[in-house]
Amino acid sequence: MHKGISVSPGVVVGVAFRVDSVFGTGEPQTLAGPGLIPAEIERFEHAITTSASELETFVFKVAQQLGPSEAEIFKTHLQIVNDHAMQAKVRSLIETKNYTALSALQIVLQGYAASFARIEQDYLRERLADLRDVFSRIGSHLTVQAPVATALGHDPRDGEEPVILVATEILPSQAMSLGSLPIAGIVTEAGGGTSHAAILARSRGIPAVSGVTGITTEVRSGDTIIVDGREGLVLVRPTNDELSSYRKLQREFFDLKDRLVLNRDQPAVSADGAQIELLANINNVADAQAAVKVGASGVGLFRTEYLFLSHTDVPDEEEQYQHYRQIIEDAPNRAVTIRTLDLGGDKTVAYLGRRDEANPFMGWRSIRLSFEHPRMFERQIRAILRAGRHGKVSMLFPMITTLEELRHVNRLVEESRRNLRREGVPFGDDVKTGVMIEVPAAAICIDAILRETDFISIGSNDLIQYLVAADRDNPKVAHLCEPLSPAIFRVLKMVLDACQRTGTPVTVCGEMAGQPRSVLTLFGLGLRRFSMSPAFVPTIKALLGAVTIAQAERFAHQVLQLKTSEEIRAYLTGRLHEVSSLLEVFDSA
């Protein structure tokens, strides 16, 4: 039994599928016989040609859209791909050692890594990262990514055990590609409650546990494992008694989920009739369609960065416009809040260049990155304004820290409106603009912010991380990123009170909005707009339908008197049991 961090509630018993890197792990692989060497060399040369062609396209398109300096990284990568000495080393290993092209490529990379490690100049040592990028690109063309079910030798939909993904971590690009696979649970070594693995799991309503040290070395693909997302537990190769017990819990969990979805056509109201808006956080069209199925009233947060992460180069204005339009047309009531690009930190793309930062979450990311690429930012603003014709659309700016930044983005929006009008390009006249409150400085200066914005959206994930000065994806300090803490609720009360005084619409779109104990308190503090992963909408609708305003206000008042996270957690656990003991399974321990 392993203990990790609960990131998505529920229980599942399934078959493990271990996700390795492009090069995998273990000993180099050899060909079945020398007769296969010519074909393997041909495969390698095809991977080189394909990689070079991709990079040539990137050099041209990035230089055109972002500028020549941003294209330099791809020129460097192209030089590495076309390096004859590197290619000769790989061919030699295939011919003399009978290695597969992928193993030969890995061995050559290891040799370069050893050489670079001896170099004293930081600049040259940092070029190793470029080598890794290029070798991974070539390697990806040598690797055929089979679907999870095929890799396991069975289809889990044919009455077999469901698939549980086991990985060191899940990168944003992987999260995109894994979205359509039949995954029933996720376990990762790295990451916390707001990692990409967690977001993927919650968007699909599947149990997940992160921060499980050493799990990838113990688990083999095909092992039976249990994921308990309520308690943050993972059981590897469980006993028959454990299997029997957890299968019963699994049936109860999924039966309850199925029953709750039946409330999708019912209005979202409290036990005493207060109107509530339950919105969805989405990454793509499939999520928008899922939001309709569970009865969300709109999309409270559309994360546009996943469009950029799934592209090998910069999406142009027309492509963005068409993508946003499709999202709007598929969303509940065609109501969508579109967040501008929130890249950086753990979400990076090669075509914007690499910056090695000691603390990337505190550095060049989000709106700061957009300011540094004004042409790209302008294209996104224009695409959102154009898409605004097709529904009730709002534009949300992430990580605003100062009033000066807010004024700058407001000027950019007005300038884009003037340009579209002058060019005769149709756009939405009534697109509202809002600020995401996730930096403590903005929360503290909320009164000034409210004078110059149409609405507020509270991003509790980053707000918590910055308030407690702890990386939420670092298992060593992730325990500090506790939403049920006195500091968090006091800051949230300050922001909510300010919005109520001015009549400014306010939504919480962080993970707190889908956590029952947090929701009880937020409702008591006056919040009436919650945006969450689509899978949580039925749960929160059932919860708020069982509580009155007076009850919730009493809960919130008591929470604000408590001094520690432990006291708050214990108190709200009791209140959740009092309101609806059935829904306790949907809140992590």
Average pLDDT, the chain: 86
Check residue 159 and give its pLDDT. Answer: 45
Alpha carbons 302 and 506: distance in angstroms, whole number: 16
Alpha carbons 416 and 94: distance in angstroms, whole number: 55
Alpha carbons 372 and 170: distance in angstroms, whole number: 28
> Domain ranges in the chain?
2-22+146-257, 34-140, 266-583
Check residue 552 and give its pLDDT. Answer: 97
Q: Are strands 208-210 and 233-236 parallel, antiparallel or unpaired?
A: unpaired
Check residue 346 and give its pLDDT. Answer: 62
Q: Which residues contact 58 (CB under 8 A, 6 or more apart)?
A: 71, 74, 312, 313, 350, 351
Residue where the block lists tokens 């884009």 = 416
Asked whether this chain's domains 2-22+146-257 and 266-583 adopt the same fold, the reply is no
In terms of Cα–Cα distance, which of 342, 343, 252 is closest to 301? 342
Check residue 380 and give its pLDDT. Answer: 97
Burial letters 406-424, b for 16+ CB under 10 A, else e:
beebeebbeebbeebeeee
Q: Which two tokens stand for residue 522?
A: 């937020």
How many other C-beta atoms lie within 10 A of the C-beta of residue 96?
Answer: 10
Q: Which residues contact 487 (CB under 8 A, 6 or more apart)?
A: 467, 468
- The answer to whether 542 and 263 are in contact (CB under 8 A) is yes
- The answer to whether 338 and 387 are in contact (CB under 8 A) is yes
Q: Which residues of the chain have pLDDT under 70?
A: 20-27, 64-67, 69-70, 117-129, 143-161, 171-181, 191-197, 312, 345-358, 360, 473, 475, 588-589
The set of catalytic residues is 196, 509
Instruction: Note the CATH number of domain 34-140.
Output: 1.10.274.10
Check residue 476 and give its pLDDT. Answer: 78
pLDDT single digits (tens) 441-463: 999 999 999 999 999 999 998 99
Check residue 319 and give its pLDDT. Answer: 93
Polymer length in residues for the chain:
589
Check residue 527 and give its pLDDT. Answer: 98
Alpha carbons 239 and 236: distance in angstroms, whole number: 9
Check residue 581 and give its pLDDT. Answer: 87
What pTM was computed for the model? 0.77
Check residue 292 and give its pLDDT. Answer: 96
Q: Which residues contact 302 (CB under 8 A, 6 or more apart)?
A: 282, 283, 288, 324, 327, 336, 337, 338, 339
Instruction: Note the CATH number of domain 2-22+146-257.
Output: 3.50.30.10
Fold topology of 266-583:
TIM Barrel (3.20.20)
Check residue 456 and give its pLDDT. Answer: 98
